[in-house]
Amino acid sequence: ELAGQKAALAMNIAEQEPLLQRIMAENSAFQAARSADAVTLERERVVQGAENATTAFTEMHTQVSEGLAFYTDLVGRLSQIVQTSEGYACAQSMVRRDFEAEQGTVSQEAADAEMARRLADQLQMGEGAATPAIPAPAYPGPAAPVYPAAYPDAAATPSAPAFGTAPGTAPAFHVDSSPYQVPELGGYGAPATAAPTYSPAP
């Protein structure tokens, strides 16, 4: 039995080489016939185009998916940056308003202090300056009349000074107002019937 199996195996090995040669020859004939057939060539072109399109679509889809993920993450990060920037801007705006308000208060206080200092300086200068004396009016001018002791309740009636009196002096005079002593003025007698007379005092 063993000898028979060895003989069959040797025969099979001997047949392998001619079989391979025949297969290779038939494959070459098939390729030659396929290359010469127009329908087969068109079909191969269509199949190759579809394969190329599928490969390109797959690559593009992969790139688009990666880009979508990248830009989605980028948009999220940019949104966070925008929110943070807006928060900083709002905080800085509040700080600026507070600073301007404080500066305005300081400026107003400084202006008030300067105004108070100027007023104080003006008051001190006004108090330190000599007040010019107002001279008494020289004669002729109104002078207080002198009333005689006989008529203590007579009403004062000023009179023009007599001519010929030295300038700068007022002549003394008395008023004879007996005709004008009426009850309404605290005097006695009948109502006035004549103008009063004036004469220089003795």
Q: Is residue 145 part of a domain?
A: yes
Q: How far apart are CA 88 and CA 94, in angstroms?
A: 10
Domain count for the chain:
2
Q: Please state, as a whole number, how many other Cβ atoms lie within 10 Å of the Cβ of residue 181.
A: 18
Task: Say what the alpha-carbon torsion angle 50, 55, 59, 60 is, to the nearest 10 degrees.
Answer: -10
- Note the pLDDT of residue 54: 96
Q: Is residue 68 part of a domain?
A: yes
- Tell me: the pLDDT tens digits for 42-74? 888 999 999 999 999 999 999 999 999 999 999
Q: Is residue 122 part of a domain?
A: no
Task: Write down which residue in 78, 97, 116 finishes a domain.
Answer: 78
Q: Is residue 129 part of a domain?
A: no
Task: Write down which residue in 78, 112, 130 finishes a domain.
Answer: 78
Continuous H helices in the chain: 2-36, 38-128
DSSP of 78-94, one letter per residue? HHHHHHHHHHHHHHHHH
Q: Is residue 169 part of a domain?
A: yes
The pTM assigned to this predicted structure is 0.34
Q: Which parts of the chain register pLDDT below 50? A: 130, 139, 141, 149-166, 168-193
Task: Say what the alpha-carbon torsion angle 149, 155, 156, 160 is, to the nearest 10 degrees.
Answer: -100
Q: Is residue 26 part of a domain?
A: yes
Q: Is residue 184 part of a domain?
A: yes
- Note the pLDDT of residue 111: 85
Q: How far apart are CA 24 and CA 30, in angstroms?
A: 10
* Bridge partners, residue 71, by sequence: none
Q: What's the residue count for the chain?
A: 202
Task: Write down which residue in 26, 44, 78 finishes a domain.
Answer: 78
Give 173's DSSP letter: E
- Note the pLDDT of residue 53: 96
Question: Whole domain around residue 60: which residue ranges?
Answer: 14-78
Q: Is residue 119 part of a domain?
A: no
* Bridge partners, residue 175, by sequence: 198
Give 129's DSSP letter: S
